[in-house]
Amino acid sequence: MGLKGFVEGGIASVVAGCSTHPLDLIKVRMQLQGETTQPALALHSTSTHAPPHPPAPKAGPIAVGIKLVQQEGVVALFSGVSATVLRQLLYSTTRMGLYDMFKNKWSDPNAGGSMSLSRKIAAGLIAGGIGAAVGNPADVAMVRMQADGRLPPAQRRNYNSVLDAITRMVRNEGVTSLWRGSSLTVNRAMIVTASQLASYDEFKEMILKKGLMRDGLGTHVTASFAAGFLASVTSNPVDVIKTRVMNMKVEPGAAPPYSGALDCAMKTVRAEGPMALYKGFIPTITRQGPFTVVLFVTLEQVRKLLKNF
C-alpha cells in the first residue's frame, strides 16, 4: 500500500488527536500533581527542623478540568493543540504507515492475509519506536504547552505556538532539548503501538472469526476500545515519567531536577509512592479509549473512501 497507508493513518491520527486533546491535557496536569520544582530538596525535607508539609489531596479529572476552565478559560482546554497536530503528523503518521507496510509484507497468504500475533507485536514495536524518534520535538513542545498554565505566571514559558516553542527551545536550551526524554518517548510509543495496533487487529479478527459481529462500525468500536484499554494499562507508568522529564525546567548553571528516566522514576516513587506511576490513569483511559475508537473508526472510513485510489 506504500504511501497510501501513511496518508490514511495521518488523517485518522490528526482527527483523533484534535478531538481528544482536552482529555490529554487534563491527563498531563494530573500526572504533574505532587511534583515539586526541587525534587532533591523534597526528598530530604525530613532532615530539616521544620515538620514536612502533608501532601495536598490529589484532584480527580473532573476537578482538574473545572479548575482549569475557571482559572484559565475554556480556550485553555486546547492549549498546545498546534503541537498535537504536528505530533500526529510526525509520530502517528510514521507509525501507522510503517505498521501498514509491515502488515502487508509479513502477512501470510495461506492464513487469509493475516499476521501472527508475534509478528503484529514486532511490527508495532518497530513502527512505534521509529515514529517516536521522528515526532519527539513536537511531543516535548506539546507537554510543555499543556503544562504551562499550572505554573506561576512568572515561571510560565508562554509559547505562542508549536513553532515558537521549538524555536525557543533550540535557542535557549540547544537542539538536544528537542529530544529530551526521547528514550522514554520511544519506549512508550513501542508499548502503545504494539498493544494498540496489534491488539486492534487481533480483537477484530477474533470477533469476525467467531462470527460475533459483522465487519462494521460495531466491530470497529468494540475492537478499538479493547485496544485502547490495553494500551493505557501498559503505557501509563512510562507516560508519567516521560511527562515529568519533558516538563522539567533546567536553570542555567544548575543541575536538572532529574538526571534521567530512572532517576525520575526513583524520586517519584520515593516521594509519592509506587501508585504515583499510575497518576492520571482515569483521564488516560478516558482519553485513550475515545482516541483509539476515533482513530480506528476514522481509519476504516478513510480506507473505504481511498479504496479506489
Mean pLDDT by 10-residue block, N- to C-terminus, for the chain (309 residues)? 85 94 84 60 44 59 88 88 90 94 84 82 95 91 82 85 91 90 85 93 94 93 94 87 81 81 89 88 83 95 85
The per-residue pLDDT for 48 is: 46
- Looking at residue 14, its pLDDT comes to 95
Q: What is the DSSP letter of 150?
A: G
User: What is the Cα Rg of the chain in Å?
Assistant: 20
Q: Which pLDDT value is given to residue 46?
A: 43
C-alpha cell at 66: 473545572
pLDDT attached to residue 45: 43
Distance CA 194, CA 105 (A): 17
pTM strictly above 0.95: no
Distance CA 260, CA 274 (A): 18
Measure the CA–CA gap between 36 and 193, rounded to whole angstroms: 31
CA distances to 149, 209, 244 from 249, in Å: 14, 51, 10
Residue from 119, 276, 300 nearest 194 by CA: 119
The pLDDT of residue 184 is: 79
The 10 Å CB-count burial string (b at 16+, else e) for 137-152 is bbbbbbbbbbbbbbbe
Q: How many CB atoms lie within 10 A of CB 263?
A: 16
State how far the Cα of 89 lies from the Cα of 212, in Å rounded to an integer.
35
Q: CB of 284 within 8 A of CB of 292?
A: no
Measured in degrees and rounded to the nearest 5, phi and psi for residue 108 equal -95, 110
Contacts 24+ apart (CB under 8 A), 38-43: 38/257, 39/257, 39/258, 39/267, 39/271, 40/255, 40/257, 40/267, 42/271, 43/267, 43/270, 43/271
pLDDT for 35 equals 64
